[in-house]
């Protein structure tokens, strides 16, 4: 009979890339799941030649967090693993705390991995986390992509994020920790019913007699992931036919778009909007459906910092002025995470959106073929209140611009990474 611990180690190894990279990073919060992952990785990779490194993000939101990070460091040291503590100090006490903390955590971890030349980063998400995610997304009327849950692999700014324990229960990992006589920290927020995840965790206990268990919801996620992959392939193939770019905008062939299944239309719209806006996460489904309804009715719309404009034979997705009206960058620096503008040296020049007043100073803008709404949100060069250049509006005045977005990424975005 295979020993219980050996089964878990084999599961972990099966979820790692082949061949193994020289270095693997592990995100360790101090909770039971990530502590188990750290210990299991130290054993499973001990004879492979793969160096394990670990990092803990201290969000600075609880007084106990610093001590918990130190305890992780001590455990890592006992296992011969180099450990780093990453501190987040970016919360302005505005917006959704959990969402901002999650984004900051991944941002800090990916930055750490890149700095340490770590190509693969592991997290300790379990089957229970997957089930809770599916249940929360079900409550939001999510479609196939949402109900496919967390992917086992995704790209994190050039670092491959892996969740090798998505098929392992939280209970099994606690059992492993007890057999190894290891302790772990319990975050008080795990009992705080203000958070949707904790409500979902408690709801699963109530739903279990109906057969809606964590295991069943994990199977649902797996089934939906297979359906999502098929839809992604269809959307990626269609994007090659229906989409093209025009200096930072996306043009969608209106006739092709109208003849597509609704789900593929939705995916094309999401992909185009995310590429233009630079947003990592898609808009809410209700907002997407509203925009699609407007397109079907022959009207334009706004979505996630973008304008959707109906033109003859095409649908143009461009930046919305209100999303960039306060974005100002020195000349030569990146503007709106999309553009770099070059020209004669001028220490006083800044890049900002052209706006209505600026467009009025560009008499030849109609000859560019670009619509008014797209041009007023385009980059332009100013010195104080004087317009120096507006390349996309036909007034370059010795200046030029380049789009730093990867146009190929628009088409690759339809596939999970």
pLDDT, averaged across the chain:
91
Contact present, 31 and 60 (Cβ < 8 Å):
no
Task: Report the CATH number that the domain containing residue 129 is assigned in CATH.
Answer: 3.40.50.620
Report the pLDDT averaged over residues 269-285: 91
Same domain, residue pair 292 and 173: no
- Domain co-membership, 273 together with 130: no
267 and 138: one domain? no
Check pLDDT > 50 for residue 2: no
pLDDT tens sequence across 20-64: 999 999 999 999 999 999 999 999 999 899 999 999 998 767 778
Closest-CA residue to 275 (of 310, 303, 296): 303
Distance CA 268, CA 252 (A): 9
Question: What's residue 115's pLDDT?
Answer: 96
The CA-atom distances, in angstroms, between 108 and each of 22, 57, 101, 245 are 21, 8, 10, 32
User: Does residue 228 sit within a domain?
Assistant: no
Is 240 within a domain?
no
Residue 32 is labelled as binding a ligand: yes
Are 197 and 306 members of one domain? no
pLDDT tens digit string along 360-382?
Answer: 999 999 999 999 999 999 999 99
Determine what percent of the chain is predicted with pLDDT higher than 70: 94
pLDDT for residue 1: 32
Judge whether 239 lies within some domain.
Answer: no
In this structure, the answer to whether residues 292 and 331 fall within a common structural domain is: no
44 domain-assigned: yes
Is 31 annotated among the ligand-binding residues?
yes
The residues facing 329 across adjacent strands are: 351
Is 271 contained in some domain?
A: yes
Q: Give residue 93's pLDDT.
A: 58
- 102 and 136 fall within a common domain: yes
φ, ψ of residue 269 in degrees (nearest 5)? -65, -45
Residues 112-149 as b/e (b if ≥16 CB within 10 A, e otherwise) read bbeebebebbbbbbbbbbbbbbbbbbeeeebbbbbbbb
Residue 40 lies in a domain: yes
Of residues 155, 177, 153, 154, the one with CA closest to residue 165: 153
Do residues 362 and 397 both lie within one domain?
Answer: yes
Tell me which range, 17-26, 150-159, 276-285, is most confidently predicted by mean pLDDT.
17-26
Residue 134 lies in a domain: yes
User: What confidence score (pLDDT) does residue 58 get?
Assistant: 86
pLDDT digits (tens, 9 = 90+) for 307-317: 999 999 999 99
Res 413 pLDDT > 90: no
Range name among 8-17, 90-99, 116-125, 284-293 with the lowest pLDDT average = 90-99
Note the pLDDT of residue 405: 84
pLDDT (0 to 100) of residue 176: 95
49 and 197 inside one domain: yes
Pair (21, 128) in one structural domain: yes
Shared domain for 149 and 40, answered yes or no, is: yes
Neighbour tally for 233: CB within 10 Å: 12
Q: Is the same domain home to 115 and 213?
A: yes
Q: CA 116 to CA 23: how far, in whole Å?
A: 9
Structural domain count of the chain: 3
Pairing mode of beta strands 379-383, 350-353:
antiparallel
State the residue range of the domain holding 381.
Answer: 325-403
| Domain co-membership, 98 together with 176 | yes
């Amino acid at each position: 009979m295979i020993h219980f611990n050996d089964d878990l180690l084999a599961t972990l190894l099966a979820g790692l890339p082949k061949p193994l990279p020289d270095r693997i990073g592990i995100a360790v919060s101090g909770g039971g799941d990530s502590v188990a992952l750290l210990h299991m990785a130290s054993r499973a990779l001990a004879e492979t030649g793969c160096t394990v490194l670990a990092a803990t993000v201290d969000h600075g939101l609880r007084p106990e967090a610093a001590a918990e990070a130190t305890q992780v460091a001590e455990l890592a040291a006992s296992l011969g693993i180099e450990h780093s503590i990453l501190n987040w100090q970016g919360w302005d006490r505005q917006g959704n705390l959990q969402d901002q903390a999650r984004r900051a955590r991944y941002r800090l971890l990916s930055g750490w991995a890149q700095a340490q030349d770590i190509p693969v980063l592991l997290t300790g998400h379990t089957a229970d986390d997957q089930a809770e995610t599916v249940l929360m997304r079900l409550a939001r009327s999510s479609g196939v992509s949402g109900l496919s849950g967390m992917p086992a692999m995704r790209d994190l700014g050039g670092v491959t994020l892996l969740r090798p324990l998505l098929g392992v229960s939280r209970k099994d990992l606690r059992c492993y920790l007890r057999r190894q006589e290891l302790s772990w920290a319990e975050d008080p927020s795990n009992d705080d019913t203000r958070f949707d995840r904790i409500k979902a965790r408690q709801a699963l206990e109530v739903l279990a007699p109906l057969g809606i268990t964590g295991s069943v919801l994990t199977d649902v996620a797996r089934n939906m992931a297979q359906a999502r992959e098929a839809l992604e392939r269809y959307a990626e193939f269609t994007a090659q036919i229906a989409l093209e770019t025009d200096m930072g905008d996306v043009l969608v062939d209106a006739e092709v778009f109208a003849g597509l299944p609704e789900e593929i239309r939705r995916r094309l719209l999401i992909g185009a909007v995310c590429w233009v806006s630079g947003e990592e996460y898609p808009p809410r489904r209700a907002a997407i459906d509203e925009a699609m309804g407007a397109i079907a009715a022959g009207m334009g719309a706004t979505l996630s910092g973008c304008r959707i404009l109906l033109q003859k034979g095409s649908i143009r997705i461009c930046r919305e002025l209100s999303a960039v009206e306060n974005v100002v960058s020195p000349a030569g620096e990146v503007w709106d995470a999309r553009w770099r503008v070059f020209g004669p040296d001028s220490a006083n020049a800044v890049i900002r959106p052209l706006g209505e007043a600026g467009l009025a100073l560009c008499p030849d803008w109609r000859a560019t073929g670009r619509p008014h709404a797209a041009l007023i949100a385009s980059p332009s060069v100013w010195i104080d209140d004087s317009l120096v250049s507006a390349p996309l509006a036909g007034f370059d005045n010795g200046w030029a611009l380049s789009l730093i977005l990867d146009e190929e990424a628009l088409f690759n975005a339809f596939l999970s990474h």
